[in-house]
Amino acid sequence: MLLYNSATRKREEFIPREEGKVTMYTCGPTVYHFAHIGNLRTYTMEDVLERYLGYIGNKVTRVMNITDVGHLSSDGDTGEDKMLKGAKREHKTVLEIAKFYTDAFFADCDKLHIKRPEFIEPATNCIPEFIAMIETLLAKGYAYEAGGNIYFDTSKLERYYIFNDFKEEDLEVGVRESVEADHNKKNKADFVLWFTKSKFDDQELKWESPWGLGYPGWHIECSCIASKFVGEYLDIHCGGIDNAFPHHTNEIAQSEATFGHEWCKYWFHVHHLNTNSGKMSKSKGEFLTVSLLEEKGYDPLVYRFFCMQSHYRKNLVFSWENLDNAKIAYNKLVGRVAELKANDGEIDEAAFAEGKKRFTDALDNDLNTSLAVTALYDVFKLRTNDRTKLALIESFETVLDLGLIAAAARLNEEKAKQAAEENAGVDPELLAYIQERIEARKAAKKAKNFAEADAIRDELLAKGITLLDTREGTKFTINEA
């Protein structure tokens, strides 16, 4: 499998440290508000990655943090803690806010068929681990105390900027909107590991530490939570492209300084979901959520399908028109699945292998979900029976999980119920005969034996039964004698 590695800026063959086993880390949500659908695009693509790594034979151990403390509103370690901001907005405690929005996040994930990682850990559960890593960094000379806070000293590193080639002047105050002056720092790129004095005095969550009462910086949590569950090495680290700097850059700095070796080899970054007015953001006021999509009549799985029609390393533009197009395509796809007959022959191993290869070729090519969806459509074109086609779709669904099989079953149930209502009062033997002839005609048309199809239609017409081909299938009327 080839994956683009953000750390090397090229596609590389993905080879885990231990054959057949993959350790994977996902940057989790800061639970001060609902996740918007841009956030959830990232988690959707990470979910596909995890599923596909398992599909090709790996045992994946995935870890995710929940940020419930320490994430400030500025990249420059200044501003208000986002959790406190949420608590003030809703007149609740920080822990009440964290519980509510954590539950809301996973409810959205369930609707989008995003699997829950094996290990999920809130930052507030790991204060001892944070303190231990900071003590190690201080002992090794990679951290220093200033103004009551503990900072990581980026000047001690041979290379700090992993994902972007920044220059020192790029971090001058005023050049980037998110950077504000912190005169405690020795270097502009240094970052806070532990706060004991902050810009505000009403921080709700604080803990005792060797440096005084305080709370952790944002970046320290991911390094510690990952190592808590999978040790000093990670195979692949995931997140949104906006996390690459400074968050992931700082994770690498503190982790490799602590452990003394390369921490994570592969970095997987999902690009932005944009609207016509720019990148989606909670700071812009009203934002798009899964609940809003549902209120407007969209199945959340239509949004999952929409995400898969684009490559994860391309910005995806959201509009209601684009989502409508995805909804139409999704419903047509469900309809085609519903037409397949599970008892139509035995599985054709050669055709199955052909269809599966198209699918794996797509996802082996830097997780190209757009081509994988094309491979899904190609299943219907295979010269094979319905049972084989259904088996392929079921196989693909272990990765894509678009809910196609269940949706097709519901559609067939609705059709059967409607047909039963329409055909109430029709003699059961006559009804069985008509349905058998309709199926025979359908098979003849599929085989391009149009003369046979016409003969069946004429046969029924001679018996006073008129067929009508509609978008919902073939219907019939019985002419009165």
- Distance, CA of 477 to CA of 34 (rounded, Å): 52
Looking at residue 108, its pLDDT comes to: 98
Give the pLDDT band of residue 174 (cuts 50, 70, 90). very low
Q: pLDDT per residue over 10-23, tens digit each?
A: 999 999 999 999 99
Tokens of 268: 């997987």
pLDDT of 277 strictly over 80? no
pLDDT of 35 strictly over 80? yes
Instruction: Identify the residue whose tokens are 């809130």.
Output: 122
In percent, the amount of the chain with pLDDT more than 90 equals: 71
Give the pLDDT band of residue 334 (cuts 50, 70, 90). very high
The enclosing H or E element of 315 equals: none
Q: pLDDT per residue over 84-104, tens digit each?
A: 888 888 888 888 999 999 999
Question: Is residue 215 a contact partner of residue 69, using CB atoms and an 8 Å limit?
Answer: yes
Closest to 262 (Cα-Cα) out of 291, 292, 232, 218? 232
Looking at residue 268, its pLDDT comes to: 98
pLDDT of 313 strictly over 90? yes
Domains of the chain plus CATH, in order, are: 2-270 (3.40.50.620), 290-407 (no CATH), 424-478 (no CATH)
Closest to 127 (Cα-Cα) out of 207, 186, 51, 199? 207
121 to each of 222, 387, 412, 440, 459, how far by Cα in Å?
A: 10, 43, 42, 57, 68
Average pLDDT over residues 151-163: 95
The SS3 of residue 273 is strand
